[in-house]
A and B are shown apart, each in its own frame.
Chain A
Amino acid sequence: MADIERRHRLQLAAMLVLLGCVLGLAGLAAGSEGWSPAAAWQLAWSPDGPLIVGQIRAPRTLGAWLVGALFGLAGAIAQGLFRNPLADPYLLGSASGASLAVVLVLGGSALTGHAIGITTAGAVSRLGLVGAAFLGALVGVSLTVALARGAQHTVRLLLAGVIVGVVLGAASDMVITVAPEALRGKQAFLVGSTGYLGWDSCAVLLAGLAVAAPVAWRLSRALDVLTLGEDSAMSLGLSLTRVRGVLVVALALATGMAVSQAGLVAFVGLAAPHLVRRCAPSAHGYLVLASAGMGGALLLGADVLARSLLAPQEIPVGVLTAALGGCYLLWLLHRRPFA
């Protein structure tokens, strides 16, 4: 029994590595002309090759994997922390915080007479928006934790997350009412897109993953202990406040990084840990890392599809993950009828 489970875990790990590589190659080959390995091979050796493949497709492909990995990791942390398989990385107000920050930057620019739209802003405003979204996500989470008076009580944290989400959402709407130009930019930024990922984004995302993943892995035993309930965890000598605090920071960091670079990508954070649990049930040490691999593969797969399905038209990857994620949940419901 244990051997079978160990084998399942190894198989899943190998499959995730293989899938990452195959999808990575597919990501290099998928372009605005559709998906064609032969055309990609020709393009790679053409004069435009270094620019299109090396500067556009390669960082976008790696970036999509990294964003997905951060969402998958954040989802596994959130589900363990809140002991709820339906928890997602946005629960603590990071989405609404990032959204408000982006609206403030865009609306603020519009109000001061330097209107910028997401399509025209390009590289100039990109850094500002990314920075604002990241800070916004962190501020959203900090507000939630402050409102919950620390990270000791799960229910209080969840309620505070809901309140922060509603209030910051209302604030975003207020800014948009005053500066309607911000709406289009907000939609474009937060719909979830991997189209803007460059090498600089990859470096930032990689740094985020390099910090958040080891922290989550090192604290995975705390997530295991939490499955026994908060009281039992405390009776085992676990300092809930401290451990939760560190995990909330790792969660906020992973979510904030991913949202700031790619917007609000739906369902990857929710679905990746689910898929890992279905394929290879395990303790949290394996779960958090495999969820990162699964999230990476999911978002990279969705990105390749988003580029290829209606080429040269591109579907925002967030729309695609929402549609696919919704279908997955429906399938889950269908497979497990309520007793």
Chain B
Amino acid sequence: MTAHGLSAAGIDVVRGGRPVLHGVSLALAPGWTAIVGPNGAGKSTLLRVLVGLQAAERGTVLLEGRALSSWHDAERARRIAWLAQQGEAGGELSARETVMLGRVPHLGLFASPGAADEAAVQRAMAATACEGWAHRRLHELSGGERQRVLLARALAVESPVLLLDEPTTHLDPPHQVAVVRLLQRLGAEGRTVVSVLHDLPLALMADRLVVMADGRVQAQGSRDDAALHDNLVQVFGGAIRIARAGASWMVVPQL
């Protein structure tokens, strides 16, 4: 187990009487891992289990070798940052104030932000290129701009583990590419970055992929793994084809 490692073993989750995850086991090491699979595969539920928001009927989640449930809330929050799918953001907070909320695990409810917190917020906003509207209210921003602010909020935690549910939602292609570069960089720096992605070409730029379907892990491996590609085509019902395009992979509809 690595210092920043997060792992799950034999996770079962039942929701509304319907099994959502069956015996899911995986070990997440530093680097960028993308979780892919069709709708309803259990990808978001798995992320929620990994961050402690969803209790599992069976199975254990270990963070740094210790059961996730045994961590104190604030300690856990300093180690794992989570970005919600379709993240909410109401109220009258400015973009900067929203990103500063990422420092809550460090500050608690009462401490005032110090220079280190200001610097972390600055870095996070620079990483998602959202400093330009730092003082605009969140409800005044477009969907893509808001998504970049919410991603910066997750980055501002500066946690060793980052769980991102659809971080590229609402983003235009240049910003999708920017996020991919960011996730690659964070992975290369030794952070454990896990993202659920629907955009397969983007997911195939991750260091590792986890393919899910019907609440099970169907395959996991490196992005260049041919068996994993076959599995990916299979879980998508043969509707896609994966082809090499230079150093990366291209996913095209199979008509």
CA distance A235 to B187 in the complex (A): 21
Query: When each residue 61-102 of chain B gets 1 if its CB lies under 8 Å from chain A and 0 otherwise, what string results?
Result: 000000000000111111011101001111111100110011
Beta-carbon contact of B88 and A229 below 8 Å: yes
Measured between C-beta atoms, what is the minimum distance from B68 to chain A in Å?
12
Report if A283-B105 is in contact (Cβ < 8 Å); known contacts: A229-B84, A238-B73: no
Beta-carbon contact of A282 and B92 below 8 Å: yes
CA distance A218 to B137 in the complex (A): 23
**Which residue in A221, A232, A238 is a CB contact (below 8 Å) of B84?**
A232
**Which residue in A219, A222, A235, A277 is a CB contact (below 8 Å) of B51?**
A235
Residues on B facing A (Cβ under 8 Å): 48, 51-53, 73-78, 80-82, 84, 87-94, 97-98, 101-102, 104-105, 109-110, 134-137, 150, 153, 157
Measured between C-beta atoms, what is the minimum distance from A112 to chain B in Å?
49
Residues on A facing B (Cβ under 8 Å): 1-2, 5, 80, 83, 218-219, 221-222, 224-225, 227-229, 231-232, 234-239, 243, 277, 281-284, 287
Chain B residue at minimum C-beta to C-beta distance from A80:
B91
Beta-carbon contact of B93 and A235 below 8 Å: no
* Neighbouring A residues of B74 by C-beta, 8 Å: 237
Beta-carbon contact of A228 and B109 below 8 Å: no
Beta-carbon contact of A224 and B81 below 8 Å: no
Report if A228-B110 is in contact (Cβ < 8 Å); known contacts: A235-B51, A239-B73: no
Measured between C-beta atoms, what is the minimum distance from B98 to chain A in Å?
7
Q: Which of A2, A224, A236, A239 has the most CB of B within 10 A?
A: A236
Beta-carbon contact of A281 and B101 below 8 Å: no
Measured between C-beta atoms, what is the minimum distance from B46 to chain A in Å?
15
Beta-carbon contact of A227 and B89 below 8 Å: yes
Chain A residue at minimum C-beta to C-beta distance from B138:
A227
CA distance A166 to B113 in the complex (A): 45
Beta-carbon contact of A236 and B88 below 8 Å: no
Beta-carbon contact of B92 and A222 below 8 Å: no
Q: Which of B89, B109, B153 has the most CB of A within 10 A?
A: B109
* Neighbouring A residues of B102 by C-beta, 8 Å: 236
CA distance A263 to B109 in the complex (A): 34
Measured between C-beta atoms, what is the minimum distance from A213 to chain B in Å?
16
CA distance A281 to B88 in the complex (A): 18
* Neighbouring A residues of B136 by C-beta, 8 Å: 1
Please count the residue pairs between chain A and chain B whose beta carbons lie under 8 angstroms apart in the complex. 87
Report if A231-B84 is in contact (Cβ < 8 Å); known contacts: A225-B101, A225-B104: yes
CA distance A224 to B87 in the complex (A): 15
Report if A222-B109 is in contact (Cβ < 8 Å); known contacts: A1-B136, A235-B81, A237-B74: yes
Beta-carbon contact of B153 and A228 below 8 Å: yes
* Neighbouring A residues of B84 by C-beta, 8 Å: 228-229, 231-232
Pairs of residues from A and B, 3 with the lowest C-beta to C-beta distance, nearest first: A237-B77, A227-B91, A229-B88
* Neighbouring A residues of B105 by C-beta, 8 Å: 236-237
* 22 A-B pairs in the complex with CB atoms less than 8 angstroms apart: A5-B135, A80-B91, A219-B109, A224-B91, A227-B89, A227-B91, A227-B98, A228-B84, A228-B87, A228-B101, A228-B153, A229-B87, A231-B84, A232-B87, A235-B53, A236-B77, A236-B104, A237-B75, A238-B104, A239-B73, A281-B92, A283-B92
Measured between C-beta atoms, what is the minimum distance from A327 to chain B in Å?
24
CA distance A94 to B55 in the complex (A): 34
Q: Which of A219, A225, A238, A239 has the most CB of B within 10 A?
A: A238
Beta-carbon contact of B91 and A237 below 8 Å: no
* Neighbouring A residues of B97 by C-beta, 8 Å: 224, 283
Report if A227-B90 is in contact (Cβ < 8 Å); known contacts: A221-B109, A281-B137: yes
* Neighbouring A residues of B51 by C-beta, 8 Å: 235
* Neighbouring A residues of B153 by C-beta, 8 Å: 228
Measured between C-beta atoms, what is the minimum distance from B90 to chain A in Å?
5
Report if A231-B76 is in contact (Cβ < 8 Å); known contacts: A237-B104, A238-B104: no
* Neighbouring A residues of B91 by C-beta, 8 Å: 80, 83, 224, 227, 284
* Neighbouring A residues of B52 by C-beta, 8 Å: 234-235
